[in-house]
Structure 1
């Protein structure tokens, strides 16, 4: 790997600089390298590093395959996933992602993101991508070709110039911060408290049903439907556990997040029963005000990928899918532009990407106002409609042949009325 000391001064032979080596950065780097472009990835941290967003969606698998990383992911021993389960009081509903409207993979994995992200980055590096770890982007100049000022691990500054710039920095949101692109989200401010546990669930049952380790379990608080929990089975008998709610609903024990989380678990009888023997494995963390938006997603000089552009909410595990989808879509535009074809970034990247994001947004908003919860827990669902909704929950939010994607708000409102 080339060191920072060997890169002092501008490097005009680089096609694309990518900020961040997470899923969107690694996928984009791999795809660009396959297209014959020279890519350098700047990553602030060293991998593996902890991150949330452990429950992948099946749609991710076709994007992983596009980047020639599928064999590595399949061989890694991650927890198999074939659907999602929802529980509210004594109601339990599951969605089988293989029984969906949209063609494509119906299964995926639930992953410890530290290991998963490192696997993708290592696979990209094995393909020939250059990744520089422990380096921080200090400033960006877009007056000509994108030029970045970067501080290496020794504290030295150097500059790097490229023909295009991708921000895959996730919650770091490097370009929105440096270029003043931040814009308030239209979603309510919420917080999440989370950790990893050794779940020790064994053969425990809830409402006479054994715990299905092949599905994420989303539980709704029995007295306040604005509060929900995730339980994501991982390999080796572990789970990711989290609770989400507006800040005032999770207040009072901010100085002891573990006590707060465990107290919230006790308030949901089914979850409390499953986790009666659980052991907390890592310090609990708090993520505040995570929903974010930007004024500009892309220009002829830069594009924002995944969470660097917009993050909605963790409820349907859409974050990694949006990240990978944005990487694939952006790379196709970059390749054309670098090959001399003009690209309308608004029409060819931002608008098409946001069609899927806005589909997810429809269901996130309806989850919190209760309408989508009413649909999910309806006791006599139409199978064809359930398959269409299942496709969205499986990540196929860009399939406009699905009526619940093509006209998401109108279709959802119609089903809400029918459920009433």
Structure 2
């Protein structure tokens, strides 16, 4: 569904222009529209379009509810998700997201992002939000109110002006590129290779292992725990399958990505067994050097949402949660500023957002150096501590009542020692 309104030749004025109609853009647009703000969303691509980040976290459901999108998502037939399962060298464990420390939803969905993102965008349009698909932002002038130079899908240039600008462009990172905000990440460069498969797992006899379609499965390479795999079941008998590692660990990648992916899958015995009858149904793709950072998250003229600001790593599926959380937090600040109140974008938006991002960062870094893997696979965990960690894995990385949020590094190191 597309907005029927075509760009005018005069410079149209909006309260807020949002670049990108993915989850953060659609949620932010809905929240701002609810507050009576005139919003325009500019989306370069046509929807539906493929994206990874397919295993949502329960925390997302709160933001979908705020945006009045929860009923649409609940009724869309997506794969139910209630936790995460982990597999390494024949050892298995899982986290049940309903058994967590932080209040809030404990279940969510695993989604093919093409249909999920289109559903959110269509729902925003039904609410009255204007979205223009196929329009590309070419330049931005911040000397006064943000002025955007755009080329529409017919190749016709036009301009719009906004009182405030939100970048929800994800890996496109429009503002960081145009405003020279890009900064190197403090995480090593890694590569992800991924595809979708018809999994046929129900045809496999599993004598010693029960596969749960209600959970993402994260597996660790038996010889190198810096390499890990995701297996995300969908409701249609398919799975998203991917492998992640530093490039030198994955071997000679070349152009035959499917051969590389399946070679690595077959090196993990349980995954090899699970996927013995799997068929690849979409061309394999790769994402390289995906971790990113910026010098500035927000000013009184613009704010970066989700992956447009900082992307960590796919290991705990935090990307969409950070995207929606940033949309919710930024929308509140934008409304406040547009209504004439003072907003300190560092204190009111950037710092609170980074509390959760940095919490996720602690556990991402500890996953790769092995400390968090030792914790996850510890055979006799303290139930209360497991609930606190489970809350973070469920996306509640902003809960300051959880000591594993407020003192993430110290608390993690404490239980690492206990696990030894």
What TM-score results when the alignment is normalised by the length of structure 1?
A: 0.98
Q: Which moved more, 1:249-258 or 1:236-245?
A: 249-258
Shift of 1:209: 2.0
Could you give the per-residue CA deviations for residues 383-417 of structure 1, whole angstroms, max 9, x where no partner exists?
A: 00000000000000000100100100000010111
Contact map agreement 1:206 1:270 (CA 8 A) in 2: no
Shift of 1:161: 0.1
Shift of 1:146: 0.3
**For residues 137 and 18 of structure 2, what CA distance do their matches in structure 1 show?**
11
- Which residue does 1:104 correspond to in 2? 104
Shift of 1:255: 1.2
**For residues 103 and 205 of structure 2, what CA distance do their matches in structure 1 show?**
33
- Which residue does 1:386 correspond to in 2? 386
Equivalent pairs, count: 418
**For residues 214 and 311 of structure 1, what CA distance do their matches in structure 2 show?**
26
Q: Would you say 1:210 and 2:236 are equivalent positions?
A: no
**For residues 208 and 218 of structure 1, what CA distance do their matches in structure 2 show?**
18
Shift of 1:206: 5.1
Shift of 1:235: 1.3
- Moved runs in structure 1, 4+ residues, more than 3 A? 203-207
- Which residue does 1:11 correspond to in 2? 12
Q: Would you say 1:248 and 2:268 are equivalent positions?
A: no
- Which residue does 2:238 correspond to in 1? 238
Contact map agreement 1:90 1:207 (CA 8 A) in 2: no
Q: Would you say 1:406 and 2:406 are equivalent positions?
A: yes
Task: Provide the secondary structure at the position in 2 that maps to 1:7.
Answer: coil
Gaps in structure 1 of 5+ consecutive residues: none
Task: Provide the secondary structure at the position in 2 that maps to 1:210.
Answer: coil
Q: Would you say 1:286 and 2:273 are equivalent positions?
A: no
Distance of aligned partners of 1:209 and 1:203 in 2 relative to their CA distance in 1, 3 Å threshold: farther
- Which residue does 1:311 correspond to in 2? 311
- Which residue does 1:371 correspond to in 2? 371
- Which residue does 1:66 correspond to in 2? 66
**For residues 410 and 195 of structure 2, what CA distance do their matches in structure 1 show?**
37
Matches within 5 A, 1:17-416: 17-202=17-202, 204=204, 208-416=208-416
Shift of 1:280: 0.2
Shift of 1:3: 4.3
Task: Provide the secondary structure at the position in 2 that maps to 1:298.
Answer: coil
Task: Provide the secondary structure at the position in 1 that maps to 2:12.
Answer: coil
What TM-score results when the alignment is normalised by the length of structure 2?
A: 0.98
Could you give the per-residue CA deviations for residues 351-389 of structure 1, whole angstroms, max 9, x where no partner exists?
A: 000000000000000000000000001111000000000
**For residues 380 and 66 of structure 2, what CA distance do their matches in structure 1 show?**
38
Could you give the per-residue CA deviations for residues 75-111 of structure 1, whole angstroms, max 9, x where no partner exists?
A: 0000000000011011101000000000000000000
Task: Provide the secondary structure at the position in 1 that maps to 2:348.
Answer: helix
**For residues 307 and 173 of structure 1, what CA distance do their matches in structure 2 show?**
7
Could you give the per-residue CA deviations for residues 212-251 of structure 1, whole angstroms, max 9, x where no partner exists?
A: 0000000000000000000000111100000000011123
Distance of aligned partners of 1:207 and 1:375 in 2 relative to their CA distance in 1, 3 Å threshold: farther
Contact map agreement 1:149 1:157 (CA 8 A) in 2: yes
Shift of 1:9: 2.8
Task: Provide the secondary structure at the position in 2 that maps to 1:30.
Answer: helix
Contact map agreement 1:80 1:110 (CA 8 A) in 2: yes
**For residues 4 and 213 of structure 2, what CA distance do their matches in structure 1 show?**
43
**For residues 158 and 203 of structure 1, what CA distance do their matches in structure 2 show?**
55
Contact map agreement 1:56 1:111 (CA 8 A) in 2: yes
**For residues 178 and 378 of structure 1, what CA distance do their matches in structure 2 show?**
46
**For residues 205 and 115 of structure 2, what CA distance do their matches in structure 1 show?**
30
**For residues 273 and 396 of structure 2, what CA distance do their matches in structure 1 show?**
34
Could you give the per-residue CA deviations for residues 325-344 of structure 1, whole angstroms, max 9, x where no partner exists?
A: 00000000000000000100
Task: Provide the secondary structure at the position in 1 that maps to 2:202.
Answer: coil
**For residues 122 and 171 of structure 2, what CA distance do their matches in structure 1 show?**
21
Task: Provide the secondary structure at the position in 1 that maps to 2:358.
Answer: helix
